[in-house]
């Protein structure tokens, strides 16, 4: 037994030493000759940086896809711009001054560049990799696909360094409505996508500089920071601008600003909708209607809404506004009883109210009396404003919102059925990405909706509506307001702004 133990220990020692010998001879990994643009840009801390193998982690090359396009006259002269996603799939770009030879490279060219000895510096406000000549650049492919990332303006403004020298798209953006009629692209023009404002820059010599400004467009281009560090979007060629609407849409005279779906106690006649007038309205002269849809699974008629907002039954319910007046900027309410949060809560009848006791009265023209006008769980529910009192399946609302879950809301058919939308802060009649028509909620990109507000909460929809352009310059967001029986109307008003 003793001999066996000694023999076993000897074998273990030999195996261990053999293992150690193998490990000491392991050649290890080979360092990549390529460094990500993410890491190159990260070297810049406000002072010029010379690139070496030491600060490039042993690398001496960058590789990327060209995004600059000098054919339209609206890329900074002499700059070659490329981007990559080599580090953590994070898109980063860099500008390289090459003089007139920069125009020899076109979007989609895949290039490798030897960068050892080059200097990273900020020139003209733009971070640039200087000291590169064309003999350091190798074109390895052409026609690589470019898919610009859709970015909101507030994201760019929050991190301009990250987006600089990258190809991005800002969708559903419009120009400053205060610009004089006939204004053109030339110069710096402020655009707004509802999430913030950024300058669109067009050189005087650009091919499209003197074209008239459209109402609403998608803008693709390269982000460049100015001397002041403020980012601007440079569309490279005219085709970088996709016009969604050449002229302004119909102005919404009434906008949806909030709703209560879950009052204390019974829902019957205590749910209500808050709206705001964007102009003075005499409903006896210009009648409107408000339609709500509740798509609870048991509500009839079941299935996809055959007549859209006019389906009726337990699916949609209509209030006609045919008398009374409201003033520009005034909040008003549609519902039953005039209490802020159910039976016994604060009486807010001093505010402007319209509607009826929906739990005992059928809707105006369609809609069966119901104790649950606005859903507080389950399938998607919605509210629409119409500038007439006889909407049918084909009628387009002037404002619309949805909240909640999913359900049998839209089908392409045939026949196509669903709830029609209009161009708002959340919906587009034409898909911003591919320009396909999408007139219904839950079709194409029209999937935006608010969450069901928490129990005891009023859903205040804060935003800014421009009554000159007909656009939400600040998109509505849902702000839950906790209510009690003693809450006052001041708690639920004040979240919406109307601007000229």
Which region among 178-182, 193-197, 371-375, 436-440 has the lowest average model confidence (pLDDT)?
178-182
Q: Which run of H or E residues covers position 270?
A: none
Among candidate residues 256, 286, 280, 184, the one with its CA nearest the CA of residue 421:
256
Which residue blocks in 349-419 are alpha helix, DSSP H? none
The CA-atom distances, in angstroms, between 305 and each of 168, 310, 351, 412 are 38, 9, 34, 12
In whole angstroms, what is the distance from residue 132 CA to residue 141 CA? 20
The CA-atom distances, in angstroms, between 130 and each of 98, 250, 422 are 9, 51, 50
Which region among 278-292, 347-361, 459-473 has the lowest average model confidence (pLDDT)?
459-473
CB 436 within 8 A of CB 446: no
CATH 2.60.40.1260 region(s) of the chain? 248-500
In this prediction, residue 20 carries a pLDDT of 40
Among candidate residues 197, 208, 149, the one with its CA nearest the CA of residue 173:
197
* Residue 249: pLDDT over 90: no
Q: Which long-range contacts (CB under 8 A, 24 or more apart) does 17-22 make?
A: none
Give the whole-number percent of the chain exceeding pLDDT 70: 94
What integer is the mean pLDDT of 5-20?
40
Handedness of CA 125, 192, 245, 422 (dihedral sign): positive
Q: Where are the beta strands (DSSP E) in 167-266?
A: 167-175, 187-192, 197-202, 216-225, 231-234, 241-245, 254-260
In this prediction, residue 181 carries a pLDDT of 81
Among candidate residues 388, 390, 334, the one with its CA nearest the CA of residue 366:
390
Q: Which long-range contacts (CB under 8 A, 24 or more apart) does 269-272 make?
A: 269/335, 269/336, 269/337, 269/357, 269/358, 269/359, 269/360, 270/335, 270/336, 270/337, 270/339, 270/341, 270/342, 270/343, 271/335, 271/336, 271/372, 271/373, 271/374, 272/333, 272/334, 272/335, 272/336, 272/355
**391-419 per-residue burial string, b: 16 or more CB within 10 A, e: under 16:** bebebbbbbbbbbbeebbbbbeeeeebbb
In this prediction, residue 317 carries a pLDDT of 98
Backbone torsion region of residue 393, taken as left when φ is above 0, otherwise alpha when ψ lies between -120 and 50, otherwise beta: alpha
**Residues with Cβ within 8 Å of residue 16, at least 6 apart in sequence:** none
> pLDDT confidence of 375, banded at 50, 70, 90?
very high
Q: Which two tokens stand for residue 142?
A: 């052409």
Per residue in 409-462, pLDDT (tens digit) is: 999 999 999 999 999 999 999 888 888 999 999 999 999 999 999 998 999 999
In whole angstroms, what is the distance from residue 320 CA to residue 388 CA? 9
CB 59 within 8 A of CB 77: no
> pLDDT confidence of 5, banded at 50, 70, 90?
very low
CATH 2.40.50.140 region(s) of the chain? 149-245
- Whether the link from the prior residue into 235 is cis, omega within 30° of 0, is no
CATH 2.60.40.1260 fits 248-500, yes or no: yes
In this prediction, residue 329 carries a pLDDT of 96
- For residue 308, the 8-state DSSP code is G
Per residue in 100-158, pLDDT (tens digit) is: 999 999 999 999 999 999 999 999 999 999 999 999 999 999 999 999 999 999 999 99
Per residue in 57-102, pLDDT (tens digit) is: 999 999 999 999 999 999 999 999 999 999 989 999 999 999 999 9
For the chain, the helix, strand and coil percentages under 3-state DSSP, each to the nearest 5: 10, 35, 55
In whole angstroms, what is the distance from residue 102 CA to residue 113 CA? 14
CB 352 within 8 A of CB 493: no
CATH superfamily of 149-245: Nucleic acid-binding proteins (2.40.50.140)
Per residue in 381-419, pLDDT (tens digit) is: 999 999 999 999 999 999 999 999 999 999 999 999 999
In this prediction, residue 150 carries a pLDDT of 94
In whole angstroms, what is the distance from residue 417 CA to residue 439 CA? 10
In this prediction, residue 30 carries a pLDDT of 65
Among candidate residues 213, 334, 216, the one with its CA nearest the CA of residue 270:
334
Count how many Cα atoms sit within 13 Å of the Cα of residue 336 in the half-sphere of its side chain: 25
In this prediction, residue 299 carries a pLDDT of 96
Which residue blocks in 115-271 are alpha helix, DSSP H? 153-158, 160-163
Protein fold of 37-141: OB fold (Dihydrolipoamide Acetyltransferase, E2P) (2.40.50)
DSSP 2-68: HHHHHHHHHHHHHHHHHHHHHHHT---PPPPSB--HHHHHHT-SSS-EE--TTTTTT--EEEEEE--
Among candidate residues 358, 288, 284, the one with its CA nearest the CA of residue 324:
284
Per residue in 22-39, pLDDT (tens digit) is: 333 434 456 789 999 999
Per residue in 191-246, pLDDT (tens digit) is: 999 889 999 999 999 999 999 999 889 999 999 999 999 999 999 999 999 998 88
Which region among 69-78, 170-179, 232-241, 488-497 has the lowest average model confidence (pLDDT)?
170-179
> pLDDT confidence of 14, banded at 50, 70, 90?
very low
What integer is the mean pLDDT of 364-378?
97
In this prediction, residue 434 carries a pLDDT of 85
Which residues is 440 bridged to in the sheet?
420
- For residue 351, the 8-state DSSP code is S
> pLDDT confidence of 468, banded at 50, 70, 90?
confident
Which residues is 477 bridged to in the sheet?
462
In this prediction, residue 131 carries a pLDDT of 97
In this prediction, residue 176 carries a pLDDT of 87
């Amino acid at each position: 037994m003793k001999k066996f133990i000694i023999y076993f220990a000897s074998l273990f020692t030999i195996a261990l030493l053999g293992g150690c010998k193998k490990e000491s001879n392991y050649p290890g990994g080979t360092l990549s000759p390529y460094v990500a643009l993410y890491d190159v840009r990260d070297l810049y801390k406000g002072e010029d940086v010379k690139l070496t193998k030491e600060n490039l982690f042993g690398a001496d090359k960058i590789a990327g896809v060209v995004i600059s396009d000098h054919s339209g006259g609206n890329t900074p002269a002499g700059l070659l711009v490329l981007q990559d996603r080599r580090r953590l799939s994070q898109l980063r770009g860099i500008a390289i001054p090459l003089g007139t030879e920069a125009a020899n490279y076109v979007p989609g060219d895949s290039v490798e560049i030897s960068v050892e000895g080059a200097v990273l510096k900020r020139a003209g406000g733009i971070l640039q990799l200087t000291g590169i000549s064309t003999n350091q650049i190798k074109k390895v492919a052409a026609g690589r696909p470019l898919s610009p990332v859709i970015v909101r303006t507030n994201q760019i403004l929050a991190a301009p360094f990250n987006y600089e020298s990258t190809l991005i798209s800002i969708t559903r953006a419009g120009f400053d409505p205060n610009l004089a009629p006939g204004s053109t692209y030339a110069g710096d023009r402020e655009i707004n996508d509802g999430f913030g404002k950024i300058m669109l820059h067009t050189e005087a010599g650009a091919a499209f500089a003197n074209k008239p400004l459209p109402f609403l467009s998608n803008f693709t281009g390269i982000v460049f920071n100015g001397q002041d560090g403020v980012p601007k979007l440079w569309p490279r060629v005219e085709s970088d601008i996709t016009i969604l609407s050449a002229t302004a849409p119909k102005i919404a005279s009434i906008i949806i600003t909030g709703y209560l779906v879950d009052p204390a106690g019974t829902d019957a006649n205590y749910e209500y909708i808050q709206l705001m007038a964007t102009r003075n309205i005499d409903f006896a002269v210009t009648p409107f209607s408000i339609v709500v849809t509740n798509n609870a699974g048991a509500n009839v008629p079941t299935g996809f809404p055959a007549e859209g907002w006019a389906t009726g039954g337990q699916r949609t319910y209509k209030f006609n506004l045919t008398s009374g007046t409201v003033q520009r900027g005034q909040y008003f309410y549609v519902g039953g009883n005039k209490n802020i949060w159910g039976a016994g809560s604060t009486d807010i009848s001093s505010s402007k109210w319209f509607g009826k006791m929906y739990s005992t009265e059928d809707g105006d023209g369609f809609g069966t009396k119901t104790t649950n006008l606005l859903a507080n769980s389950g399938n998607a529910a919605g509210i629409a404003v119409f500038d007439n009192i006889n909407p049918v399946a084909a009628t387009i609302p002037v404002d619309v919102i949805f909240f909640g879950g999913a359900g049998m809301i839209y089908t392409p058919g045939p026949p196509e059925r669903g709830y029609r939308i209009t161009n708002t802060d959340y919906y587009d009649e034409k898909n911003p990405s591919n320009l396909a028509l999408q007139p219904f909620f839950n079709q194409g990109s029209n999937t935006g909706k608010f969450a069901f507000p928490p129990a005891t909460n009023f859903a205040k929809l804060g935003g800014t509506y421009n009554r000159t352009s007909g656009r939400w310059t600040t998109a509505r967001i849902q702000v839950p307001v906790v209510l009690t029986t003693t809450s006052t109307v001041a708690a639920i008003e004040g979240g919406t702004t109307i601007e000229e």
